Amino acid sequence: MIWHELECGRYTADLPLWLDLARAAGGPVLDIGAGTGRVALALARAGHRVTAIDLDDQLLERLRARASEAGVDVRAEVGDAREFDLGERFALCVVPMQTIQLLGGPGGRAGFLRCARTHLAPSGRLAVAIVEELEEFEVSAGGPGPLPDVLERDGVVYSSIPVAVRVLDERVELERRREVVSPAGELNVSEDRVLLDQVSSSALEQECQAAGLRPVGRLELAQTTDYAGSTVVMADA
C-alpha cells in the first residue's frame, strides 16, 4: 500500500481533466483501478457520487479510511476490471494512469470494454488514459538517474527510484529500486517491475468500436517532471 501511495499518489496533473469530465457527465462516476483513492476522493470532494473498484482490498481499505477522514462517501468494491458486475450504470467511467495497459493485452482490454459498455448509462462516457511512447533508459551501476520518490512514515523512510524503461515486443517494462530505511538505520532493498501493454490511441478506439462504444475524441495530458505524458481516449455508449 505504501508503495502505491508513494509512486502514484502524488500525481495530480490529470485531476482537472477528470473533474471537468465528471461535471459535464452530471451523474455517478466509476473509477477503475482506484487504488487508495487518488482520483476517487478528488471527485467525491467535488460532490460527485463515486464508485471505485480495484483488485487489491488493502488499497481499498486505505481508500475507505481516507474517505471517512475527509467526510465523503465513496463506494469501494473489490473487482477485476476485466470482469465485474456492480448492478449499476454510470454517466462516466474513468481509467486513469495507464490501468488499461495492465490488463494482459487485447483480450483483457476487450473484457474490460464489454464491462464498461454494460455499466454505462445511455450516452455515458468512457475516458481511458494510455501512454503511447516511453523513452528507454537504464541507469548503470552508480550512474546518474531520475530523482527518487521519498516518503517518511512513523520514522521509516521509503524511497522508490526509477532505474529502467525497456521496450519489449508488445510490452514496456518499468523497473524501480525500492529502499526502506528503518529508524535504526537498517536498509532493505528490493526491485519492482511492471509490464505495460503497448497500445496506440487508434488501436484502442478500434477496440472500443468492437465493444459497441463510439470513439468521440482524445485529450492530451502533458508530461511533468516526474510522470510521462499520456493520451486520454474517450468513447460514448
Q: Quick one: 77 and 163 in the same domain?
A: no
pLDDT for the residue numbered 227: 81
Are residues 73 and 164 both part of a single domain? no
pLDDT at residue 69 tops 90: yes
* Pick from 7-21, 78-92, 202-216: least confident: 7-21
* Beta pairing partners, 235: 126, 215
Residue 115 — φ and ψ, nearest 5°?
-65, -40
- 235, 126 contact by CB (below 8 A): yes
Same domain flag for 109 and 208 = yes
143 with 231, same domain? no
Q: What DSSP line would sit under 71-127, residue for residue?
A: T--EEEEE-BTTB---S--EEEEEE-TTGGGGS-SHHHHHHHHHHHHHHEEEEEEEE
- Mean per-residue pLDDT, 27-55: 97
Are 110 and 225 members of one domain? yes
Based on the fold, state whether residues 64 and 111 are members of the same structural domain.
Answer: yes
CATH code of the domain in which 100 resides: 3.40.50.150
pLDDT at residue 10 in the model = 80
Looking at residue 48, what is its pLDDT? 98
The grid cell for 177 is: 529500486
What's the pLDDT score for residue 224? 84
Give the residue, 10 or 124, on which the prediction is more confident.
124
- Do 53 and 26 share a structural domain? yes
Note whether 190 and 218 are same-domain residues: no
Q: What are the residues whose beta carbons fall under 8 Å from the beta carbon of 10, sequence distance 6 or more?
A: 149, 226
Answer yes or no: do 152 and 183 share one domain. yes
Same domain, 74 and 124: yes
Give the model's confidence band at 144: pLDDT under 50 very low, under 70 low, under 90 confident, else very high: low
Range of the domain at 174: 137-196
User: Which DSSP letter does residue 27 get?
Assistant: S
Across 84-113, average pLDDT: 97
| Residues 100, 103, 107, 110, CA torsion sign | negative
Residue 235 has pLDDT above 70, yes or no: yes
The number of angstroms, rounded, from the C-alpha of 233 to the middle of its chain's C-alpha atoms is 14
Are both 24 and 141 inside the same structural domain? no
The per-residue b/e assignment along 27-62, b for 16 or more CB within 10 angstroms, e otherwise, is: ebbbbbbbbbbbbbbbbbeeebbbbbbbeeeebbeb
CATH number at residue 182: 2.20.25
Residues 184 and 204 in one domain: no
Q: Using 50, 70 and 90 to split pLDDT, how confident is the model at 143?
A: low
Asked if pLDDT for residue 145 goes beyond 70, the answer is no
Question: Is 182 a residue whose pLDDT tops 70?
Answer: yes
Q: Provide the domain count of the chain.
A: 2
pLDDT digits 0-9 by tens, 183-210: 999 999 999 999 999 999 999 999 999 9
At 225 the pLDDT is 80
Convert the pLDDT of each residue in 209-231 to its tens digit. 999 999 999 999 998 887 888 99
